[in-house]
Amino acid sequence: MDQDQVKKIVEQLHLERKIPKEKVFCIVEEAMMIAAKRHAGQESEIAVHIDRDTCAISVFRDNVPLSTAEITERLGAQTARQIITQKIRDAEKDTVFQRYNEDLGNLVSGTVRRVERGVVIVSLQENIEAILPRSEQIPGESFREGNRLTAQIIEVNKNGNNARIRIVLSRNRPSFLRRLLEQEIPEISDGIITIKELSRDPGHRAKVAVACVDPHLDVIGACVGSRGSRIRAVREELPNNEQIDIIPWVPDPAEFIRSALLPAEILEVIPCPILGRAIVLVEKEERSKAIGRKGQNVRLATRLCGWDLEIMTQEELQSVLDIAVEQFRSIPGMTDEAAEALVAAGLTTYDDIALCEPSVLADLGKFSEEEAQQIIDEAERRAEFDTARQAADAAAAAAEDALAAADEARRIVAADFQHAERCVRDARDAAAHAREAAGEAAKSAEMVDSPQVAEVAKAAQASADRATRAADNARAILDAARGDDRHRGQTPSRNA
């Protein structure tokens, strides 16, 4: 390999593979050194230097320079080329890794190459492959070969020198929507408008809280765009016509919560900073709107605001307050005035008191810290008792459901195999749930050391065992009925 060949290799790799010239020179020097060592022996000390301007090669063996003839003879051009090829592949991987690692968190566009078991293989620029795992896809979306898609780079890694670069994409994270908004709304990318908070139910709905440094700018109008053009461009990138609510961010928690729960009309927001919770009062007819379908509206608002939100009517709140005052008054050492003060501060359950710091509770109820600690300990004991009792009741109810399902299966087994099969499955599932709930109840009963709860837990365990036997019996009856039907050569029910 002479200097003309070296110059040609450097230029070609720099232009075609986008590898810096200095990197190529280093690769060639290293390859020639390895090739020379293979020829001359590993014990020899070989040094290779290539002049960056003239591409003249200087080779030293044990600090003795070799002549041009010796270089040509000893280095083994074919071996050097093989080593260079491998080193170039490694350098290309390093270049790809560095480029995409710098874009971590940014958007990238590509073409679907194929879909393997739900995992989408995406071809990026220069035939670089990335993957969009099923867990990072928006629920309900599907892809076909050749589809264009935009996604966010969330991971770039390589586990070794010879490993392929692994680029992982996402479309269902809130940060993906944030990047889309930045891309379509110049005021956000320029920093005039800031996305303060964002919560998202991928494929269904998102809430975005924005603030603006310019008080004269219509922040909502700027985000939505003329006739909704900007927000429409974002939604077109998302499946299922995902709804995006743009909400003005304000520092006042009550006002922010009110806006976050739109389109529901809110009567009043009562924040409880001690617990990070807020009670939201609505009219009865607005309750379902505030909660949203399957709790979506209140769930997104909760994430957006960072407060636990409880939607109540005025009547429900009054009932909760009355019960809370009555319960708190029964705690030893609690005065009527202190109970009302705690409720006024937003504490409504034993759990709420148990979560308070002694100093905070002492200030609210005018207690000493020692008295406050005693009240907290008692509230914690009562909260555990209530939890245990609820667990025992839930176990008993689950067992009753299992028994009812088993009875229904036995009743209809001869008439409708398919319905009976469903009932048997329901009975088995309910029995399993009952056993699990009974076990939790038993643990809770042991924790609170209450004979009453222990008795309920014991009864729940007995009911769960009875439900399991009933489900097994229903399964045996169904299997026997199917067997008899086949043995007689009769045609099973049309529903079978």
Count of beta carbons in the 10 Å neighbourhood of residue 408: 18
- At residue 35, what are phi and psi to the nearest 5 degrees? -60, -40
Quick one: DSSP state of residue 374? H
Sheet containing strand 193-201, edge to edge, reads 193-201, 205-212, 243-248
**Contacts by 2-5 with C-beta closer than 8 Å and gap 24+?**
2/57, 2/68, 2/72, 3/50, 3/54, 3/55, 3/56, 3/57, 4/55, 5/77
Do residues 363 and 369 lie in contact, with contact meaning Cβ atoms separated by under 8 Å? no
Q: What is the pLDDT of residue 206?
A: 94
Measured over the CA atoms of residue 286, residue 287, residue 288 and residue 294, the dihedral's sign is positive
Enter the pTM of the model. Answer: 0.68
Q: What is the pLDDT of residue 494?
A: 37
d(C-alpha 295, C-alpha 263), whole Å: 14
Q: What is the pLDDT of residue 448?
A: 61
CB neighbour list of residue 57: distance below 8 Å, 6 or more residues apart? 1, 2, 3, 6, 32, 48, 49, 50, 51, 71
d(C-alpha 99, C-alpha 89), whole Å: 15
Q: What is the pLDDT of residue 193?
A: 93
Q: What is the pLDDT of residue 493?
A: 44
Q: Which residues of the chain have pLDDT under 50?
A: 487-488, 490-496
Q: What is the pLDDT of residue 412?
A: 60
Structure tokens at 119: 């995992």
Q: What is the pLDDT of residue 278?
A: 92
Q: What is the pLDDT of residue 301?
A: 95
Structure tokens at 100: 């995409």
CB neighbour list of residue 438: distance below 8 Å, 6 or more residues apart? 392, 395, 399, 457, 460, 461, 463, 464
